[in-house]
Chain A
Amino acid sequence: MAELREELKEKLIEQLSLEDVEVSEIGDNDPLFGDGLGLDSIDALELIVLLEKDYGIKLKDPKEGKAIFESISVMADYISKHRTK
């Protein structure tokens, strides 16, 4: 699981163009939206695409993302349970 969390942090920085952020600066339980990494609604859509493209997880309702993208830990947990690739 630790490996997946690191992988997700790297993907977030790459996919969301977080150029000023280092992997070491993202805590496993830091909120990704709001006061945490400060991601926005377009980032949320980008994460939905990432889930499908890289892990084969297709969210039926985009609103599900709000809970899944709470933090790296929550994301990693969800992906490990639902991934198809």
Chain B
Amino acid sequence: MIKEKYYISGFCSIKEKKVFKNGNQLYVDSESDNLKDFAKGIYKYLELKYPKFHKMDELCKLGFLASEVLIKDMKEVDQDTALVLSNKSSSLDTDRKHQESIQDREDFYPSPAVFVYTLPNIIMGEISIKNKLKSENAFFVTESFDAEFVSRYSEILINTGKASNVICGWVDLDNDKYDVFLAFLSKKGKIELTKEELNNLYNQ
């Protein structure tokens, strides 16, 4: 396999009530006291018109919003742009809500709308539907962001012709604590893709 050079052509993070794109602060919300309102604020800031957003669970909203920020200024996203995401807490935040709804046998009304989000890979489904992606996707649950694994997996997808670009990163949520980082990998760009560089950008 020929080792080609790939690049990080854009990156985005959502941390501590702030949204950053390519290292620059794009949005800050010091007023909202919960994640739902914070996410809604970003949705409004981005001037999105996508009613399905409001039906998503908070984990999906975070991944979806980060992807929208990441591709905001692109004319279009190639349909074969792969998605390689990861996190530590899987869908635990919504798993708990579902568990609560089935805890009491006398009051047993699980919500289908909650249940569909009891898998973290639904984030990729939502991003794919919005951007009409027909591509490879994979979601990994790891203890912390593994830049080496994610970058190598993404490189293989591009190198083997399975994807022309990759959106990769970390979308984690547990009990209102969130940590989101997405990067757009392609054959063009200024920042060469290495595990060190990807890690540096994640830790910014």
Contacts and interface: CB of A to CB of B under 8 A. Distances in A.
A40 to B, nearest CB: 8
Interface of B: 40, 51, 54-55, 109-113, 116
A58 B89 CA distance: 36
A18 B51 contact: yes
A19 B111 contact: no
B109 A42 contact: no
B54 A17 contact: yes
Interface in A46-64: 46, 49, 52-53
Contacts of A70: none
B109 A49 contact: yes
B109 A46 contact: no
Interface of A: 15-20, 38, 42-43, 45-46, 49, 52-53
Contacts of A45: 112-113
B197 to A, nearest CB: 39
A43 B113 contact: yes
10 contacts: A15-B113, A16-B55, A17-B55, A18-B54, A19-B40, A19-B51, A19-B54, A45-B112, A46-B112, A49-B112
A53 B111 CA distance: 11
Contacts of A19: 40, 51, 54
Contacts of B112: 42, 45-46, 49
Contacts of A52: 109
Nearest to B112: A45
B111 A20 contact: no
A1 to B, nearest CB: 26
A47 B117 CA distance: 18
A80 B45 CA distance: 43
Given A45-B112, A52-B109, 6 more contacts: A17-B55, A19-B54, A38-B51, A43-B113, A46-B113, A49-B111
